[in-house]
């Protein structure tokens, strides 16, 4: 087929030749490598057809089609940005079997292409010159398309030349002086293009687009040559004009057109800022900052600005570009960085791809920029904030996709000192049931790494853990804890157990356990005295024993306070975890019971005094002397005399079944006898009004307790 196309490209009839170019354009669309296979012939034929300029003004529609095909071919040539991306993709895809790149990455063909492009660019410039009278007089749609394709082709060729030169390829060295001279004298010198009479808004947009295309050529060429100062200033003024939208006709143009125009020029801002000095540097930075602040959060302009900001703060070699001595640029950098948290909130969860770009920039800033801490207080709104009424207002974080959440969490690691208010904001998200359990544990992992790196104070880190454990809402929370397999599937109790294990593991890695324990002890006793749900109390007790030793590290004051708390806690466990049931349910109940009891048993083993005090409180509560402690203030679930007595006996029997606690109980026969006598006294008392049903329950409890007292006397 290609032989027929090439034959038609040399036909005497111009229409046949143009149709051949149209066919080849289709071939390149569907099979891009075909251009590289026949590049020399193709470019030679394009050069020939462009020399035949007698049809330019007669049939611009056909010329437009031919030029569009040339643009499609030249787009396949690498520029510096595209090659880096292509090489990255190829490196990643080479692990695939039978992988073949879409476009050949062999520089051998490029030498031929460069030679032909050096011939074709002057021809394109001449074509542009032929269109100038029309451009200045009345720019119709077809003429505009032709001129734009000519400029686009020149830009792609120049960009390819400059890239090959900067990459150090000898076949591109040097660019002929005549080559750059042609561009400067015949193309760049006529900038800016402008009409000779007043135009409509649509026509004015066409001139802006053409001038932007010439600006792109100038910017690429100026990487190799030093342009005249007066010409350079013309382009600077135009860039400023486009960013600030000074023209009334430009303001009238559509949103999409404006965004495309501005987005085209923004990538050149970092290089321009690095090259200019004095007043022009200030004007460019001001225009860029105004554009960044004024454009809509989800627009393509905002994304282009973010890429430019990254380049102006972090160089391509991952080095900081924050020079405090350049106070003007430094001030603008602070302004840009402070805008990022607000931008995240404005994007919400409706524009996840844009949010991910912002989060990626935040992560890069955290890894490299000393200015990163500037935005910490502004990030709270992204996670959550507390309103005056005490309600929590969640930010976009919870509603973003997992990969965006992951990025935002990784950003936290790089704050030099994480603020306690930001930790509080993050903790609120962790306590929300909307947060995936995977992300909950990922947050803990990142924050614990930040603590190890010295970015979180020990008191703040412990407070964060205690907040999670004490306020995590386990569901369902009933008077009788459900322990069937069907209920376990709808419960988050398993997640909470895993959270408790992770927190305990982190606590053991925080440094000197004795110092950490001193900080932890006081806060946990305060929280557990507030009568939290059973699961939360158990988790906090587990945090204590994770750092405790034998003998215990608990202070005397803490032991006294804990005895009241543990007495009520144990009675609630006995009330909430049934002892009866079928074999399968009983097995689950037994596991649940052990989970709640083990922290207490560890504490009793490490402090016999604590067990002694707990037994005394239980005994006193039965005869009424400690009614204020166990009749309602600490006990959360077990209400009523018979319920508390039955639960107390169950607790004592469970202690007997534990080998270590059983040995300790031998030392406290008197306390257990006191409990037994108090129960018997209550059961036989005529002064206290006890219903018959409760008396029966109390009698059953006495019978159960006799087995324990008799075993202790042996």
Q: In this structure, how many other beta carbons lie within 10 angstroms of the beta carbon of residue 539?
A: 27
The pLDDT tens digits for 382-413 are: 999 987 777 899 999 999 999 999 999 999 99
Domain assignment present for residue 602? The answer is: yes
**What residues contact 322, with CB distance under 8 A and at least 6 apart?**
313, 330, 333, 369, 370, 371
Question: Is the link from the previous residue into 616 a cis peptide, with omega within 30 of 0?
Answer: no
**Which tokens hold the place of 170?**
């000898």
Whether residue 107 lies inside any domain: the answer is no
* 88 assigned to some structural domain: no
Residues 6+ apart with CB under 8 A from 619: 671, 674, 675, 678
Give the model confidence (pLDDT) of 585-607 as tens digits.
456 888 888 999 999 999 999 99
In a domain, 322, yes or no: no
Residues 182-205: b if buried by 16+ CB within 10 A, e if exposed: bbbeebbeebbbeeeeebeeebbb
Angle at 22 between CA 18 and CA 23, to 5 degrees: 120
Q: What are the backbone angles phi and psi of residue 174, rounded to the nearest 5°? A: -90, 170
Residue 460 lies in a domain: no
Task: For 411-459, give the secondary structure using H, E and C.
Answer: HHCCCCCCCHHHHHHHHHHHCCCCCCHHHHHHHHHHHHHHHHCCCCCHH
> Does some domain include residue 310?
no
Specify if 471 maps to a domain: no
> What residues pair up with 386 in beta bridges, in sequence order?
392
Structural domain span for residue 574:
561-581+593-714
- Domain at 627, CATH number: 1.25.40
Say which residues have a Cβ less than 8 Å from residue 281's Cβ, sequence separation at least 6. Answer: 273, 328, 329
- Domains identified in the chain, total number: 1
Whether 450 is in a domain gets the answer no
Asked whether the beta carbons of 109 and 171 are under 8 A apart, the reply is: no
Q: Which residues of the chain have pLDDT under 70?
A: 1-4, 6-7, 9-14, 52-58, 80-109, 168-176, 198-202, 246-254, 315-325, 477-490, 580-587, 623-640, 683, 685-695, 712-714
pLDDT at site 429: 96
DSSP E strand boundaries for 137-264:
none
């Amino acid at each position: 087929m290609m032989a027929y196309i090439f034959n038609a490209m040399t036909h005497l009839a111009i229409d046949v030749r143009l149709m051949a170019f149209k066919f080849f354009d289709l071939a390149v669309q569907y099979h891009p490598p075909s251009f590289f296979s026949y590049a020399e012939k193709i470019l030679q034929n394009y050069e020939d057809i462009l020399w035949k300029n007698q049809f330019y003004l007669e049939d611009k529609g056909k010329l437009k089609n031919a030029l569009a095909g040339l643009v499609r071919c030249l787009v396949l040539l690498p520029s510096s940005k595209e090659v880096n991306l292509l090489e990255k993709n190829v490196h990643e895809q080479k692990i695939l079997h039978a992988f073949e790149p879409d476009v050949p990455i062999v520089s051998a063909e490029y030498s031929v292409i460069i030679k032909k492009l050096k011939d074709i660019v002057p021809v394109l410039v001449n074509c542009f010159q032929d269109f100038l009278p029309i451009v200045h007089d009345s720019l119709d749609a077809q003429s505009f398309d032709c001129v734009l394709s000519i400029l686009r082709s020149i830009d792609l060729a120049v960009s390819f030349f400059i890239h090959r030169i900067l990459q150090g390829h000898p076949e591109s060295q040097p660019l002929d002086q005549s080559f750059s001279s042609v561009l400067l004298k015949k193309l760049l010198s006529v900038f800016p293009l402008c009409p000779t009479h007043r135009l409509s808004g649509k026509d004015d947009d066409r001139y802006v687009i053409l001038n932007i295309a010439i600006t792109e050529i100038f910017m690429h060429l100026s990487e190799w040559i030093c342009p005249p100062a007066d010409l350079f200033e013309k382009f600077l003024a135009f860039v400023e004009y486009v960013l600030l939208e000074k023209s009334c006709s430009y303001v009238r143009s559509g949103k999409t057109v404006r965004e495309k125009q501005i987005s085209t020029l923004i990538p050149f801002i970092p290089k321009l800022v690095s090259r200019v000095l004095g007043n022009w540097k200030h004007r460019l930075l001001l225009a860029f900052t105004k554009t960044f602040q004024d454009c809509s959060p989800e627009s393509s302009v905002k994304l282009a600005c973010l890429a430019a900001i990254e380049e102006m703060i972090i160089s391509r070699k991952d080095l900081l570009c924050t020079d405090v001595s350049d106070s003007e640029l430094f001030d603008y950098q602070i302004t840009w960085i402070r805008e990022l948290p607000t931008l995240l909130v404005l994007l919400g969860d409706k524009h996840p791809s844009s949010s991910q770009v912002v989060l990626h920039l935040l992560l890069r800033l955290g890894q490299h920029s000393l200015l990163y801490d500037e935005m910490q207080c502004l990030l709270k709104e992204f996670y959550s904030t507390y309103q005056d009424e005490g309600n929590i207002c969640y930010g976009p974080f919870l509603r973003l996709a997992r990969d965006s959440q992951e990025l935002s969490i990784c950003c936290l690691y790089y704050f030099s000192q994480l603020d306690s208010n930001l930790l509080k904001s993050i903790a609120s998200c962790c306590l929300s049931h909307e947060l995936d359990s995977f992300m909950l544990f990922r947050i803990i992992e990142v924050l614990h790494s930040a603590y190890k790196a010295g970015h979180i104070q020990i008191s703040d880190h412990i407070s964060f853990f205690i907040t999670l454990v004490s306020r995590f809402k386990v569901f369902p929370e009933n008077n009788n804890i459900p322990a069937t397999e069907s209920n376990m599937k709808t419960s988050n109790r398993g997640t909470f157990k895993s959270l408790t294990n992770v927190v305990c593991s982190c606590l053991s890695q925080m440094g000197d356990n004795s110092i950490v324990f001193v900080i932890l002890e006081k806060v946990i006793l305060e929280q557990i005295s507030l009568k939290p749900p059973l699961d939360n109390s158990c988790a906090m007790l587990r945090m204590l024993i994770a750092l405790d030793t034998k003998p215990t590290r608990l202070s005397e004051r803490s032991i006294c306070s804990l005895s009241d708390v543990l007495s009520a806690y144990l009675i609630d466990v006995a009330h909430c975890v049934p002892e009866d049931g079928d074999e399968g349910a009983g097995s689950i109940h037994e596991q649940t019971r052990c989970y709640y009891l083990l922290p207490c048993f560890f504490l009793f083993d490490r402090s016999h005094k604590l067990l002694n005090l707990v037994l005394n409180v239980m005994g006193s509560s039965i005869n009424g002397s400690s009614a204020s402690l166990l009749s309602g203030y600490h006990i959360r679930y077990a209400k009523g005399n018979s319920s508390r007595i039955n639960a107390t006996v169950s607790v004592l029997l469970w202690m007997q079944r534990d080998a270590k606690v059983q040995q300790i109980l031998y030392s406290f026969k008197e306390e257990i006898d006191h409990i037994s006598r108090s129960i018997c006294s209550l059961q036989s008392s005529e002064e206290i009004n006890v219903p018959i049903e409760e008396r029966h329950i109390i009698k059953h409890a006495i019978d159960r307790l006799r087995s324990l007292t008799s075993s202790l006397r042996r």
